[in-house]
Amino acid sequence: MSFRTASLRLARIAGSKASTSAISKRALSALASSAARPTLKATTPIVGARGVKTINFGGTEEVVYERADWPREKLLEYFKNDTLAMIGYGSQGYGQGLNLRDNGLNVIVGVRENGASWKAAIEDGWIPGQNLFPVEEAINKGTIVMNLLSDAAQSETWPQIKPLITEGKTLYFAHGFSPVFKDLTHVETPANVDVILVAPKGSGRTVRSLFKEGRGINSSYAVWNDVSGNAHEKAQALAVAVGSGYVYQTTFEREVNSDLYGERGCLMGGIHGMFLAQYEVLRENGHTPSEAFNETVEEATQSLYPLIGKYGMDYMYDACSTTARRGALDWYPIFKDALKPVFQDLYESVRNGSETQRSLDFNSQPDYREKLESELQTIRSMEIWKVGKEVRKLRPENN
Ligand SMILES: NC(=O)c1ccc[n+]([C@@H]2O[C@H](COP(=O)([O-])OP(=O)(O)OC[C@H]3O[C@@H](n4cnc5c(N)ncnc54)[C@H](OP(=O)(O)O)[C@@H]3O)[C@@H](O)[C@H]2O)c1
């Protein structure tokens, strides 16, 4: 088949996939390892004292802040008069809350009494009446209110929460969603408080596990409202306190647009769609399930993607056979051209609030957990993922 024909076919397939795209659960963003490529000399000039560095990212200079800027003693001193009220105990509440507690900061958790999160918090050692409270009580005690409710719940509960965010407090988010799309969420933040965000680029489970390993998640931070004049510094300090290894600056708008876009694209939705398309074509052409899975997912996740994560895309090309290299070099522009219009549609759908509206509509339903579970059950029962379960058992380390 000529590349042109193939390209047209791909564009058609990509178009139909886009129109049937389903809401996926919150992204578990892939973490790029910071390991340096061993055979290459570093080309990134690093300038700056302490850990604050100006780094040339492929021609654009950006400042990053690192854990070295905020040693534990400095964090303890900086937040010595603060009570950090963590509202919500989902994935981020768990990761950020336990890291703050282990860092020795004065952190309390606020969740619905006797709900699933209340029980989970008790299992993790939070004590009712001591550092675990109903939401409103925790907000009243806090000087820094960390709103880590689900994005839909932030919108639902805002009428009760807003009057409690009084002058002198700081309001913290882990996503730009609520303030940026305020026309849809109705989260109109008070004008007389600092409003900041720290967005870890990964699941709260990873925020916790990397911290425990002595490593750190990469996060972005942003300032929506700087009343005190210290909002930037406070956000950088909080980013480190919750377990970030380094943090780069963004805006609330850029954070929410890139995050919603990324998780629907390469991080989750896009990659899932691509796996399914490749697997189905292999199966339709007579390949066995194990072969189709190995050639689609297992080799990707076990052999090739870790090389990209550790050393870069060029290194992965270098590490493959001349045959594989030639084919991939010929085909990547075809995939890119076919998929770019889908990504453009996706970005627009994020930017114009459609994705936010869809998320609010779905996740505000009282039975959203049951509905989500039924969609996940559909994924679980797909042949490809059932095959994956068996293939993983065959890995020697799982025997
Ligand atoms: N997860 C990630 O990978 C990730 C990464 C970066 C940033 N973020 C952001 O971090 C924030 C929290 O996300 P998450 O994934 O940790 O949390 P989540 O699982 O989406 O939300 C869980 C929390 O919301 C509470 N909740 C839900 N509905 C409620 C209601 N009507 N009233 C009161 N509480 C309610 C739950 O309490 P109950 O148990 O009582 O229902 C639970 O504590 C969001 O802004 C998200 O976008 C998430």
Q: Quick: pLDDT tens for 75-133.
A: 999 999 999 999 999 999 999 999 999 999 999 999 999 899 999 999 999 999 999 99
Per-residue confidence (pLDDT) for residue 50, from 0 to 100: 55
**Closest CA relative to residue 24, chosen from 297, 276, 272:** 272
The answer on pLDDT for 38 being more than 80 is no
Q: What is the reported pLDDT for 375?
A: 97
In angstroms, how far is CA 388 from the centroid of its own chain? 24
Query: How much of the chain, in percent, has pLDDT values that exceed 70?
Result: 87
Confidence of residue 150 (pLDDT cuts 50, 70, 90): very high
151 annotated among ligand-binding-site residues: no
Q: CA–CA separation, 43 vs 238, rounded Å?
A: 30
77: annotated binding-site residue?
Answer: no
337 is in an annotated binding site: no
Average pLDDT of the residues in 271-282: 98
Identify the band that residue 53 occupies on the pLDDT scale cut at 50, 70 and 90.
confident
Report the nearest atom of ligand 1 relative to the CA of 149: 24
Tell me whether residue 272 is one of the annotated catalytic residues.
Answer: no
Cβ within 8 Å of residue 26, ≥6 positions away: 91, 203, 263
**Residue among 86, 55, 385 nearest 207 (CA):** 86
Q: What is the DSSP letter of 227?
A: S
**For ligand 1, is residue 260 a contact (CB within 6 Å)?**
no
304-315 residue pLDDT tens = 999 999 999 999
Collapsing DSSP states into helix, strand and coil, what is residue 90? coil
Q: What is the CA radius of gyration of the chain?
A: 23
Report whether pLDDT(43) > 70: no
Return the biggest CA–CA distance within the chain. 69
What are phi and psi for residue 113, nearest 5 degrees?
-65, 130
Contact yes or no for 252/197 (Cβ under 8 A): yes
Whole-number Å distance, alpha carbon 151 to ligand 1 midpoint, is 6
280 annotated binding-site participant:
no
Q: Name the DSSP letter for residue 68.
A: G
- Candidates 246, 242, 245; CA nearest to 97 is 242
Residue-wise pLDDT tens digits, 331-390: 999 999 999 999 999 999 999 999 999 999 999 898 998 999 999 999 999 999 999 999
Q: Strand 132-133 to strand 144-147: parallel, antiparallel, or no bridges (unpaired)?
A: unpaired
Contact 20, 26 (CB under 8 A): no
- The predicted-structure confidence for 251-271, as pLDDT tens digits, reads as follows 999 999 999 999 999 999 999
More confident residue, 272 or 45: 272
pLDDT the model gives residue 201:
95
Contacts of 134 (CB under 8 A, 6+ apart): 110, 111, 112, 113
Question: For residue 8, what pLDDT is reported?
Answer: 37
pLDDT in tens, 320-344: 999 999 999 999 999 999 999 999 9
Cα–Cα distance, 156 to 338 (Å, whole number): 39
Separation of alpha carbons 311 and 40, rounded Å = 9
pLDDT tens figures, 168-220:
999 999 999 999 999 999 999 999 999 999 999 999 999 999 999 999 999 99
Joined tokens for residue 63: 């400042």
Q: Which of 98, 117, 149 to mutate to test the pocket of ligand 1 (most atoms within 8 A of CB)?
A: 149
Per-residue confidence (pLDDT) for residue 282, from 0 to 100? 98
From the list 60, 88, 65, 56, the residue with the least C-alpha distance to 219 is 65
Tokens linked to 126: 């939070």
Ligand 1 mutation pick, 23, 91, 244, 247, max ligand atoms within 8 A of CB: 91
Q: What is the mean pLDDT of residues 5-14?
A: 39
Host H or E run for residue 300:
none
392 in Cβ contact with 398 (< 8 Å)? yes
β strands within 33-156, DSSP E: 46-47, 53-57, 60-66, 84-87, 107-110, 132-133, 144-147
322: which residues sit within 8 A by CB, 6+ positions away? none
Which among 17, 13, 16 has a CA at the least distance from the CA of 264?
A: 17
Ligand 1 centroid to 116 CA: how many Å? Answer: 12
User: Which helix or strand (DSSP H or E) is residue 36 part of?
Assistant: none
pLDDT band of 47, cuts 50, 70, 90: very low
Give the position of tokens 């400095």.
74
Residue 235, Ramachandran bin (φ over 0: left; ψ between -120 and 50: alpha; else beta):
alpha
Per the CB < 8 A criterion, the answer to whether 253 and 176 are in contact is: yes
Residue whose CA is at the smallest distance from ligand 1 atom 13: 150
Say if residues 201 and 92 touch (Cβ distance below 8 Å). no
pLDDT at residue 127 in the model: 98
Contact 162, 246 (CB under 8 A): no
